Amino acid sequence: MSFILTLEETKLEQIIELLPRYEQLITDAEPIFKLEGRRLEEIMRTLPHYQSRYDQSFKEMKALESWLDNLKEKTVSKYWKKYLEGYPRALSTRDIQAYISGEKEIVELNQIAIEITLMKNKLESIVAALSQMGFMLGHVTKLRISEMQDAIF
């Protein structure tokens, strides 16, 4: 079961508590790309594990971003109703949007959304780099095989 289903809309702390885990995962990716002194077999053996792990984390972050967008839309509609129905005078659409964007809850959701988007983009770039690394390793392997065949003949 996904952790997304366990999140409560009233407890944004739950989302904030998840972020250090992803930040650590992003930090842990740097040594993966250091290839000097490592054997080709070891790199090729561990690459699928890392690619799967970071791709899963990227997809989790995308799901978290969607969940947060849904929560934000729900919160905006709550405030929209408040300003549309509960306000003593009629407000224009622009006025309502301006008031809603200044609400503390909306500002907090936007800040969390920015942080999640940043982490999602970092994870996406790690996944892309791992994919490129896979292509590179495949080409290096083909070159080594070619060199071996040249040496035999």
- Residue spans of the domains in the chain: they are 54-123
Closest CA to 66 of 150, 135, 7: 7
Q: What is the pLDDT of residue 27?
A: 94
pLDDT given at position 14 = 83
CA gap 74, 109 in Å, rounded: 11
Q: What is the pLDDT of residue 151?
A: 66
With tokens 């054997």, the residue in question is 39
CA 85 – CA 80 distance, rounded (Å): 8
**Tens of each residue's pLDDT in the chain, 153 residues:** 567 767 777 778 888 888 999 999 999 999 888 888 888 888 889 999 999 999 999 999 999 999 999 999 999 999 988 888 877 788 888 988 898 899 999 999 999 999 999 999 999 999 999 999 999 888 888 888 887 766 665
pLDDT at 20: 93
Q: Tell me, what DSSP letter sits at residue 11? A: -
Can you tell me the distance from the alpha carbon of 22 to that of 115, in angstroms, rounded to the nearest whole number? 11
Phi (first) and psi of residue 90, to 5 degrees: -70, 130
Q: What 8-state DSSP symbol labels residue 32?
A: G
Q: What per-residue confidence (pLDDT) applies to 12?
A: 80
